[in-house]
Structure 1
Amino acid sequence: MKIIIGFFIFCLVLFIYLHIQFHLKTSEDLEMYEIDEPSKDKLEEICDIRQPVIFNFDNNKIIETSNKSYILNNYSPFEIKIRNINETDTNSELYIPLQLHSSVKLFDEDKSASFFSENNSDFLEETGVIKNLKYNDEFLRPYMVSNCNYDIMMASKDVYTPLRYEINYRNYFVLTQGNAQIKLAPPHSKKYLYPIYDYENFEFRSPINVWNPQSKYVADFDKIKCLEFTLTPGKTLFIPAYWWYSIKFNDSNTSISCFRYRTYMNNISITPYIGLHALQIQNVKRNVAKKVSINELNNVYHVARENTDDNTNIHDNQIKENKQDIVGLSGTDIDNLPQPINQNSNLGSELNVFSNDN
């Protein structure tokens, strides 16, 4: 009996180990596959090679009900999340909610190419758009799927997303409107990209701008080779796990629908990431608004108080000087001058007192 139990445990451990290794496997070849109309099995087979794949996904229902024009015409009062790519304050919230019609106006008027929208699962749930994605993505879903994440991306013209990688088993990007440029880098480029592990937002990105590298990163970035291509409407891109990518929106009308899937074994293989994410969101509190130091407020208060005291002293000195000037002109002590009649007092009584004195 012990032998049977031991053999069963051995097989179970071996099974889990092989599946974890399968999900952690990566490919470093700098090449992309392109398929016109793959079958479901053929797509799964090619995606398991861990190379980027671009293919035709002619699902009009998804394209027609998740593009920017459609959701703007039907769901403009709902809020989407806006992100500023130029924001460097790590203590602030990464995303700010803004109504869709205001967001579109922001994208159209943004001349600095700073804003884009993503992580809009709440928007999809509230508007019901997620139903159109769920009911029509059977072709993309892998077998034994456990988690399905849907998203919509929009941006200002010439805005690019941070260079980052995903850890999901399947990551599909369907261009529903406009066009976008994509840059991809294989996983081994990590050592030149100064990765930032943001477990709170579950984002693993690089500070390098791959479209116009900063001068301090140029030497390392020159060692990296990237794939670059243009994604057009109706085309779908598969990005394997751990491949670095950045999306540049060529115009403000571009929209992309995102499909991310995990299987049960995929969740087991990324357990360290999930654990650190859970710990991080418990221990970190972000600032919704800018905070001011108490010391700074005290300094401002003391400076204002000193200025007020100085002004009071100047005013008192001016009064004294005016009194002296009056005394000098009239030869009379200013303190012995009769007091003015109070407006609230009885005028008749004041006159009677004056006549009796005479």
Structure 2
Amino acid sequence: MSFLINLLVFFLVLIFYLQLAEQHKKNNDLEVYQLDYIERKDVHDYCRLKLPIVINYNNVNPDFVSRINKTDVVRALKYMQIKNEHDFYKEVPDNSYVEMDTHNANILLETSSDEPYYTEHNDEAIQTSPLRKVFETNNFLLKPDMNIVSKYDILFGKDKSHTPFRYHTQHSQFICCHEGSVSIKMSSWENTDLLNPHHDYERYDFRSPIHIWNPQSEWAANVKQMETMDIVLEKGCMLYIPSFWWYSIEFQQGSLVSSSQYSSFMNCLYNLPSWGLHYIQKMNVEDQLLNLKNGLSTSPSKEELADTKEDIATKEISEPILVEDTTPLHEPEVANAKHDIEEKHTNNDEEEKEIKDTLNYLTTSIEENQDV
């Protein structure tokens, strides 16, 4: 009986290990599959190859392609996350996004200057909008068995704007082009050492500091050693991006794409350590912001500083003035009196200097707190 139990435990552990190993699997062949049609039973077989796949999605779910367009997106979403791609390549990179209401964001992306603005990370807005049901029409084909987490996104931007060169660790990700066309540059995992990856656990974003479309001079030698491939995704086509494949999207004028990410049960277990670091980092940032807010709320305001100055000035004016006795004095007494008066003037000068120093110190401290 114990032998059968041990055998059962062995097979369970073996299956568990094989499933986790599947999540870590990588394929470094620079190849792309192109399919005119695909059925559910074939999707996961192709995905297990860990190679990019371009699918003519007009032949699979044409309603999904047509129902997501810029007009409906602006009408359905309340807000969008806006980013300037130059922020990622500053001396001190900025990973923050600006949340704008959809109408103003669309005006910015259509009429702004040559700044490379684009929008992404709109999952929260989609989850509370009618677009969520549109994305869920793909579940019959794209959603893996035992799926735990689904994330949806809408991406578009200025002409020739780019997303960072990044990779994902989810079970699967699908990029679908709904309007115009986009260019996608991809590279396999074997080039990771050349890309100097940055792990941003605050946003759970794994990206390279290299601008892959226009490499900085200090990274030009690394890019020359890499092997990349370019994929042009036309309207109605969908691209499967395997985990641990590097990719960057170049937007064209009038282009719009959607992204669907899925995480199965085993994929969640595989990513559990990274997710733990992600939530710890988010908690640290929230604590820092809360401490900063509390510090600003308890610091004296400029009005309080002005009142302090006025009180000190009033106190200085209201000090009693000592009147010297005018009775004639003998020479020794005159000398002593002069000495006492000079000493009093010296003390008064020192007190005035101390008051001025105190006021200057208070003013500097308050202004620094207000600037923070």
Coarse TM-score class (shorter-chain normalised): 0.7 to 0.9
Distance 2:19 2:28 in 1: 20
| Amino acid paired to 1:171 | Q
2:199 touches 2:206 (CA, 8 Å); kept in 1?
Answer: yes
Residue pairs, 1:75-224, within 5 angstroms: 75=76, 78-87=78-87, 88=90, 94-224=96-226
State the AA in 2 paired with 1:139.
L
After superposition, the C-alpha distances for 1:138-163 in whole angstroms (9 at most, x for unaligned) are 21222232221111111111100000
Query: In the alignment, is the contact (CA less than 8 A) between 2:57 and 2:65 conserved in 1?
Result: no
Which string of whole-angstrom CA distances, capped at 9 and with x for unpartnered residues, describes residues 120-146 of structure 1? 122212322101111343212222322
C-alpha distance in 2 between matches for 1:221 and 1:282: 36
Alpha-carbon distance in 1 for matches of 2:231, 2:23: 27
Equivalent pair of 1:151/1:258 in contact (CA under 8 Å): yes
Partner AA of 2:80 in structure 1: I
Residues in 2 aligned to 1:91 and 1:180: alpha-carbon distance in whole angstroms? 25
CA offsets 1:178-206 (integer angstroms, 9 cap, x no match): 11100000011100001000111010000
Asked if the contact 1:150/1:259 (under 8 Å) is kept, the reply is: yes
Contact residue 40 and residue 140 of structure 2 kept, 8 A = no
C-alpha distance in structure 1 between counterparts of 2:116 and 2:18, whole Å: 44
Tell me the residue number matched to 2:227.
225
Partners of 1:54 and 1:237 within 8 A in 2? yes
Q: Give the aligned partner of residue 43 of structure 2.
A: 43
Q: Check the 8 A contact 2:118/2:155 in 1, yes or no.
A: yes
Cα separation, 2, equivalents of 1:243 and 1:92: 24
C-alpha contact 1:93 1:287 (8 A) present in aligned 2: no
Residue equivalent to 1:71? 73
CA distance in structure 2 between the aligned counterparts of 1:198 and 1:213, rounded to whole angstroms: 21
Quote the offset at 1:244 in angstroms. 0.1
Q: Distance between the aligned counterparts of 1:22 and 1:82, measured in 2?
A: 35
Count of residues in correspondence between the two structures: 293
Equivalent position SS for 2:141: coil
**Rg larger in 1 or in 2?**
1
Match of 1:12 in 2: 12
Q: Could you tell me how far 1:56 is from its partner in structure 2?
A: 0.8
Using structure 1 for the length normalisation, give the TM-score.
Answer: 0.76
Task: Name whichever structure is richer in helix by fraction.
Answer: 2
The residue matched to 1:139 in structure 2 has which SS? helix
Q: SS in structure 1 opposite 2:37?
A: coil
Question: How far 1:217 sits from its partner (Å)?
Answer: 0.2
Deviates more, 1:28-37 or 1:134-143: 134-143
Structure-1 separation of matches of 2:18 and 2:276: 21
Q: What is the rounded CA distance, in whole Å, between the counterparts of 1:170 and 1:10 in structure 2?
A: 29
Counterpart of 2:267 in structure 1 is: 266
CA contact (8 A) 2:154 2:256 kept: yes
Match of 2:62 among 51, 60, 63: 60
Q: Distance in 2 between matches of 1:113 and 1:227?
A: 26
Contact 1:114 1:159 in 2 (8 A): yes
CA distance in 2, matches of 1:39, 1:119: 29
Instruction: Output the amino acid matched with 1:32.
Output: V
Query: Are the structure 2 counterparts of residues 181 and 24 from structure 1 closer, same or farther at C-alpha, using a change threshold of 3 Å?
Result: same
Q: Which of 244, 247, 254 is the aligned partner of 2:246?
A: 244
> Identical aligned pairs, as a percentage?
28
CA distance in 2, matches of 1:89, 1:5: 59
**Would you say the 8 A contact 1:66–1:152 is kept in 2?**
no
Contact residue 163 and residue 246 of structure 1 kept, 8 A: yes
Q: What is the SS of the residue equivalent to 1:231?
A: strand
Alpha-carbon distance in 2 for matches of 1:91, 1:187: 23
Amino acid at match of 1:210: I
Shift of 1:92: 6.0
Indicate the residue corresponding to 1:341 in structure 2. Answer: none
CA distance in 2, matches of 1:46, 1:84: 35
Please state how far the C-alpha of 1:42 moved relative to its aligned partner: 2.2
What is the rounded CA distance, in whole Å, between the counterparts of 1:118 and 1:287 in structure 2?
24
Query: Is there any run of 5+ residues in structure 1 with no aligned partner, and where?
Result: 306-358
The answer to whether the 8 A contact 1:80-1:100 is kept is yes
Measure the CA separation in 1 of the matches of 2:138 and 2:268: 24
Code of the residue aligned with 2:26 in structure 1: it is T
| Contact kept? 2:158, 2:251, Cα under 8 Å | yes
Cα shift readout 1:65-111 (whole Å, capped 9, x = no counterpart): 22212222x337x1111112122486966111101111111111233
